[in-house]
Amino acid sequence: MSEIKNNKKSSDTKFWKGLRDYYDDPEILKIKANEFNDGVTDNFDPDELSGISRRKFIALLTASAAFTATACTDYRDKGEIVPYSKRPEEILPGIANYYASTCKGCELECGILIKTREGRPIKIDGNPEHPVSKGKICAKGQASILNLYDPDRISHPYIDNVKSSWKKLDTEILAELKKASENNKEIAIVSYRINSPSTYKALQQFKKKYPSANFYFYESFGEETKRKSWQLCYGTDQLPKIDLDKANIVISLDSDFLSREGNFIENTRLYSTRKDIMKSPDFNRLYSIEGGLSLTGMNADIRLRLKPELQDEFILSLLNELLIKRKVASIPSGNGLYSLINKYNLENFTRKQGWEESKINSLVSDLLENKGKSIILAGNTLSLNTHVLANLLNNVLGNEKLYDYSSANVLVTKNNDKESWKNFLGNMNDKKVGVVIHFDSNPVYELPSDYNYANSLKNVDAVISLSELPSETTGLSKYIVPINNTFESWGDSFTRSNVYNLQQPVIAPLFNTRQKEAVLLTWTDEKLKYSEDLYHKFLMQSFKDDIYTKQNPSSDFKSYWYSSVHDGFVELPTESTSYKFNISALNNIKVVSKKSGMSLHIQPNYFVGNRKFSNNGWLQEIPHPVSKVTWDNFAAVSFATANKLGLKNNDLISVEVNNTKMDLPVMVQPGLADNLLVVEAGYGRENSGTIESGVGFNVNKFLISDNLNFKYIFENVKVDKTGKTYKLVSTQEHNFLNEPDLRDFHKIRKIIFEGTIQEYKKDPKFLLPEEKVLHGITREHEYKGLKWGMAIDLNKCTSCGYCVAGCNVENNIPVVGKEQVAVGREMQWMRIDRYYSGSPDDPEVSNQPMLCQQCDNAPCENVCPVNATNHSPDGLNQMVYNRCVGTRYCSNNCPYKVRRFNFFNFRDHFADAYYENDLTALVNNPEVTVRSRGVMEKCTFCIQRIMEARQEAISEGRELKGDDVKTACQQACPADAIVFGDINDPESEVSKYRNHDIGYLVLKELYVKPNVTYMAKLRNKNSGEV
């Protein structure tokens, strides 16, 4: 068995927060020493203060107090209580209703529960009964509630940018459609790939009426390449579910399967079941071979850096090692496989890349030992070659056992291939296209730049855009058709072949908008009048034809329909098929040797997405999981490359690819492959909403097509310094602790404890030093009865940040904007701290969600002059807004730096009070106070949820139990890494974590007695022997 040589004991690791920290940059030393970030006091000018003297001020104050006192002679008006006239039976003011539906944020189609209060949706949670997503949704899904109340939504139909009426719009569009079909001109509908059978039916109905209609589907960052490779290798384009929970070895080739690829919600759940120390110490092992540092890469047990275009060579070398040297399987004859892989050699490849040999030896031996129990995942942005080779690798290792085709991805519609797009563009240029309908899509922004779509659009007689928000495409459209938000719409879709979902509206349209499918239906029949339930009925009919009759249930249709809508999904029977690997898929593989110049890798971003989330302030402000940059995208380069090119953070560089030039800011990112730029797409929007406009850079301009619609990896990239700078804002360098000072306190002050699973198996107590008896100087409170506590399992946590999103929505957290984040005033109650260890070239990454630790001996409490923060008998550190006067002493005294101060009324302060209006106020959780200026705030362990559970317990006449409450972050965590409950109950899950051998408290030696336990990260380093 190989073992990775590592002279350092893992517990010796010195952690560093960023490169500037590692090299003790003088600027960082300054930041560490100062309490406030630079620029915080810039706007403070004593001369600008009011000229009234202190005495005069007090005199005025006294006088006005006297006047007020004498004026109190009548009762204050207390307003009105306006009850319903006819109360709907299901609505009880003050009590939330939940409706099952489907998230339409991306193509995953997760099941959701929409929480509504008094008829307005306020929070989106996962539907726990949904067979695929099992109660979890991503950050986008959770924050999507803000899109419903976005003031930028298009509220009226527009014709030539002039407000118009639906009647006029419909008449004119019907005339255009008629004209086009009479002149035998093409009518094109451009849309994202559609997962909904009934939407597709509506489209077909449209085609029936207008035979010259054609559909064009696309996805800019989808699984298209993977699907193509499946078509070649297995003769099917149905991608199976992958049983990651059965894989002992997971190898990710530039595949961010934990946060951006495949069904990452399901992947995270399945993957983390094999990192669960409470169940079994037989952890899986994750190898990540990648160019950029992705979220998956941060979680890798063993990580190797490789430029994305070299992945083919790597797989071929690995195949050579496995097939020719180790003879894992016989090489099928009659094709060029032997001659293909014979040229490559893993040893040479390893040497050329400068990899540690031990790592690659470990990988090879792991694969040999775990045949049929390992899986190789190729990233969505890699080439078709790489995907085919990865499939071959899985095939020879017998890993196809992990493919589950009984739950495969369904293609209701396929993306159009490059040829059909080129035809369409040609037709447009030849003026053969009469009408183009953008069906809730934004091709002007997303299609490859060599398609020149915007130009071709000029030759079309009528351009119609159905859209929720203004976009690049609506800017070029004659007719803008405003459509319903997803929470105002009916719909259906397939998550997988065995899961059919239903989507129901939970609020009437807020604006003068219509359901997009119904709009199409009204255009197919002049007599058909639009009504709110037009598509509802259409959907019901479609459901009856496709689902009900095929399922043939014993109940009648109406009750089956209602119960399906109630559940939000229907499980369909499927047969498990298997497909044989088709070796002729390899015939087309040609590997060209790669040059060693700079490359550019364009990846999807984590939170904003490419579709309709960039106008969502919450998502813009969640820090990037790796770099912690907010409100921007950037070009990440490795440390060595930055040195070579003389670049530092915030430098603006000019990047040139295939004659397209663009300026991008630099972020020096540890752990990147050398000579590589990694940029995320989805930013730089134009002619769009207030939030998204001017945020980041539009790197979609680089995207061009190769033999497929999109190509994401570019070689021979020219990089030049421009001499200009651009300020990127990262939360990573906020809240530095001045270590030399603290070293005097305690030499082994540790925030992160880490070890390996092998050390743990030898001695479960290896990591944590002997318990020392600590003494306090104050009298301590005894906690009898229930006491709240939390445990966070750092083995399961992938640092995805969905907890932050869930917390934001639940607790009415405001958006503060880039300038305020820059001065350290972000308001999120929860943050994910990221620490590096090892060398800046190839670091190991440790992540730690940090929130208020609800300390028993809370240092914040002692220093509050007005007792606005104090302790509750159930162990909570209470923060009382109406008592707080804003001295900020508590924040200063908090060792975890988790308190947030309202320097402004941020809703009013941000973007000209963008979120301060009657509409957006509807998103607020009525059970949580909306904090105003001058007030300190912090995590409350979701006290409103505790109180709701207490109310229920009292009404049932029982005691409140620890597991009655789920916090918002716990509910959001796709890995179930967060546990909450009663730590005084020895049987509760949270106390088992708390008393576990690897459970530790952060900064324990300060004796603040925190109530959040962290489970130390155990890396699965070397194979086999224990």
- Which residues here bind other proteins, judged by CB under 8 A? 62, 65-66, 69-70, 72-87, 92-95, 870-873, 876, 878, 880-883, 927-929, 940, 943-944, 947, 950-951, 954-955, 957
Half-sphere exposure (CA, 13 Å, Cβ side) for 831?
A: 27
Question: Judged by CB, which is closer to other proteins: 93, or 426?
Answer: 93
Q: Which residues pair with 494 in a beta bridge?
A: 500
For the CB of residue 619, give the shortest distance to other proteins in the complex, in Å. Answer: 26
- Asked if 492 and 503 touch (Cβ cutoff 8 Å), the reply is yes
For the CB of residue 861, give the shortest distance to other proteins in the complex, in Å. Answer: 11
Question: Judged by CB, which is closer to other proteins: 44, or 75?
Answer: 75
Query: Distance between terminal CA atoms of the chain?
Result: 11
For the CB of residue 1008, give the shortest distance to other proteins in the complex, in Å. Answer: 19
Residues 6+ apart with CB under 8 A from 741: none
CA atoms of 933 and 710, how far apart (whole Å) = 48
Among residues 297, 298, 274, 296, the alpha carbon closest in space to that of 284 is found at 274
For β-strands 162-163 and 635-637, DSSP reports them as unpaired
For β-strands 831-838 and 843-850, DSSP reports them as antiparallel
Question: Judged by CB, which is closer to other proteins: 20, or 945?
Answer: 945
CA distance to 200, 234, 269, 372, 569, per residue, from 539 (Å): 11, 34, 32, 43, 14
Question: Judged by CB, which is closer to other proteins: 528, or 947?
Answer: 947
Among residues 636, 107, 703, the alpha carbon closest in space to that of 445 is found at 703
Among residues 445, 728, 453, 403, the alpha carbon closest in space to that of 609 is found at 445
CA atoms of 40 and 1018, how far apart (whole Å) = 40
CA atoms of 545 and 197, how far apart (whole Å) = 11
Question: Judged by CB, which is closer to other proteins: 423, or 872?
Answer: 872
CA atoms of 732 and 671, how far apart (whole Å) = 16
Question: Judged by CB, which is closer to other proteins: 803, or 946?
Answer: 946
Question: Judged by CB, which is closer to other proteins: 541, or 951?
Answer: 951
Among residues 941, 629, 969, 965, the alpha carbon closest in space to that of 797 is found at 969
For the CB of residue 44, give the shortest distance to other proteins in the complex, in Å. Answer: 30
Question: Judged by CB, which is closer to other proteins: 2, or 940?
Answer: 940
- Asked if 437 and 459 touch (Cβ cutoff 8 Å), the reply is no
Question: Judged by CB, which is closer to other proteins: 844, or 856?
Answer: 856
Question: Judged by CB, which is closer to other proteins: 59, or 774?
Answer: 59
Say whether 594 sits in a helix, a strand or coil: coil
For the CB of residue 62, give the shortest distance to other proteins in the complex, in Å. Answer: 8
For the CB of residue 867, give the shortest distance to other proteins in the complex, in Å. Answer: 9
Residues 6+ apart with CB under 8 A from 772: 1005
HEC profile of 928-954: CCCCCCCCEECCCCCHHHHHHHHHHHH
Question: Judged by CB, which is closer to other proteins: 72, or 1026?
Answer: 72
For the CB of residue 251, give the shortest distance to other proteins in the complex, in Å. Answer: 47
Q: Which two tokens stand for residue 1016?
A: 């130390």
For the CB of residue 881, give the shortest distance to other proteins in the complex, in Å. Answer: 7
Question: Judged by CB, which is closer to other proteins: 702, or 980?
Answer: 980
For the CB of residue 95, give the shortest distance to other proteins in the complex, in Å. Answer: 5
Residues 6+ apart with CB under 8 A from 214: 186, 187, 188, 189, 424
CA atoms of 922 and 276, how far apart (whole Å) = 39
For the CB of residue 135, give the shortest distance to other proteins in the complex, in Å. Answer: 24
For the CB of residue 928, give the shortest distance to other proteins in the complex, in Å. Answer: 7
Question: Judged by CB, which is closer to other proteins: 723, or 957?
Answer: 957
HEC profile of 131-184: CCCCCCCCHHHHHCHHHHCCCCCCCCCEECCEECCHHHHHHHHHHHHHHHHHCC
Cα 813 from chain centre:
18
Residues 6+ apart with CB under 8 A from 597: 675, 715, 716, 717
- Asked if 687 and 614 touch (Cβ cutoff 8 Å), the reply is no
Burial of 191 (0-12, 13-18, 19+ CB in 10 A): buried
Question: Judged by CB, which is closer to other proteins: 785, or 1024?
Answer: 785
Question: Judged by CB, which is closer to other proteins: 50, or 882?
Answer: 882
For the CB of residue 925, give the shortest distance to other proteins in the complex, in Å. Answer: 11
For the CB of residue 830, give the shortest distance to other proteins in the complex, in Å. Answer: 17
For the CB of residue 884, give the shortest distance to other proteins in the complex, in Å. Answer: 11
For the CB of residue 903, give the shortest distance to other proteins in the complex, in Å. Answer: 20
CA distance to 112, 654, 689, per residue, from 660 (Å): 42, 10, 26
Question: Judged by CB, which is closer to other proteins: 519, or 807?
Answer: 807
CA atoms of 353 and 476, how far apart (whole Å) = 48
Half-sphere exposure (CA, 13 Å, Cβ side) for 736?
A: 26
For the CB of residue 78, give the shortest distance to other proteins in the complex, in Å. Answer: 4
Question: Judged by CB, which is closer to other proteins: 9, or 779?
Answer: 779
Q: Which two tokens stand for residue 758?
A: 């092998």
- Buried b / exposed e over 19-33, threshold 16 CB at 10 Å, is bbbbeeeeebeebbe
Question: Judged by CB, which is closer to other proteins: 96, or 645?
Answer: 96
Q: Which two tokens stand for residue 1002?
A: 């952060």
For the CB of residue 143, give the shortest distance to other proteins in the complex, in Å. Answer: 23
Q: How many CB atoms lie within 10 A of CB 605?
A: 20
For the CB of residue 927, give the shortest distance to other proteins in the complex, in Å. Answer: 7
